């Protein structure tokens, strides 16, 4: 049975579907202009795509922008996402760079949720999840698998947790047919 969670007054898992608007600008000033525009749209949640920023590997710049976003969105849940190129992101990076950027986000304590890629590996997922939970952040374990799904593996890696500050699993998949079971395509 799914549980709902409350983040900054937003109940996720209950009521109407929630609207999350991503911030995808490349330069700091553009990010803040985009954020002001998004705020006027009154989203339920905001996702900052760190990998889209030109200085994505500069952890001080990441922390500075995150601080500015928290000022713009003091009451709106903020999801921090650094998507690697392998998972569809915009910034080439090493596993060490990926983990350093995610750690920099966690150190600020300013994001409410941190997206951690399943493909980062069990140890990195565990380290980042533990750090985020210690700061009171939720963790979303994401997998972008367009040839199948890895839900069970994500849960085993820490995407499911019964604690109040548990982790969530996000799967991006590519449907191959209209059938819900994945069998042969439905015929019309």
Instruction: Output the DSSP codes for 2-65.
Output: ---EEETTEEETSSSPP-EEEE--SSHHHHHHHHHHHHHT--SEEEEEGGGSTTTT-HHHHHHH
State yes or no: pLDDT of 117 exceeds 60: yes
Using one digit for the tens of pLDDT, what is the confidence trace for 102-114?
A: 999 999 999 999 9
Which residues lie closer than 8 Å to 146 by C-beta, 6 or more apart? 172, 173, 174
Using one digit for the tens of pLDDT, what is the confidence trace for 39-65?
A: 999 999 999 999 999 999 999 999 999
The pLDDT of residue 154: 47
Mean local confidence (pLDDT), 17-28: 95
The pLDDT of residue 174: 47
State yes or no: pLDDT of 141 exceeds 80: yes
Percent pLDDT > 70 in the chain is: 75
Nearest to 146, CA basis, from 184, 113, 114, 119 = 119
Between CA 56 and CA 103, with CA 168 as vertex, the angle to 5 degrees is 30
The residues annotated with a catalytic role in the active site are 144, 170
**Selected residue with higher pLDDT from 90 and 171:** 90
Percent pLDDT > 90 in the chain is: 64
Mean local confidence (pLDDT), 18-27: 95
CA distance 65 to 24: 13
43: tokens are 């989203």
CA distance 75 to 9: 8
The pLDDT of residue 95: 95
The position carrying tokens 């596993």 is 95
State yes or no: pLDDT of 6 exceeds 60: yes
The position carrying tokens 């983040």 is 7
Residue 172 pLDDT grade (very low, low, confident, very high; cuts 50, 70, 90): very low
Cβ neighbour number for residue 47 with a 10 Å cutoff? 21
The pLDDT of residue 25: 98
């Amino acid at each position: 049975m799914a549980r709902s969670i409350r983040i900054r007054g937003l109940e996720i898992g209950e009521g109407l579907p929630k609207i999350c608007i991503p911030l995808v600008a490349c330069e700091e000033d553009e990010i803040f202009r985009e954020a002001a525009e998004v705020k006027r749209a009154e989203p339920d949640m905001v996702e900052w795509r760190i990998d889209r920023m030109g200085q994505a590997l500069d952890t001080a710049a990441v922390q500075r922008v995150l601080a500015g976003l928290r000022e713009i969105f003091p009451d709106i849940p903020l999801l921090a996402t650094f998507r690697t190129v392998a998972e569809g992101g915009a910034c080439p990076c090493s596993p060490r760079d990926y983990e350093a950027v995610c750690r920099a986000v966690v150190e600020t304590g300013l994001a409410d949720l941190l997206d951690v890629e399943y493909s980062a590996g069990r140890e990195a997922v565990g380290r980042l999840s533990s750090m985020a939970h210690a700061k009171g952040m939720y963790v979303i374990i994401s997998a972008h698998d367009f040839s199948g799904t890895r839900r069970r593996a994500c849960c085993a890696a820490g995407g499911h947790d019964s604690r109040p500050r548990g982790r969530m699993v996000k799967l991006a998949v590519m449907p191959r047919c209209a059938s819900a079971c994945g069998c042969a395509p439905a015929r019309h």
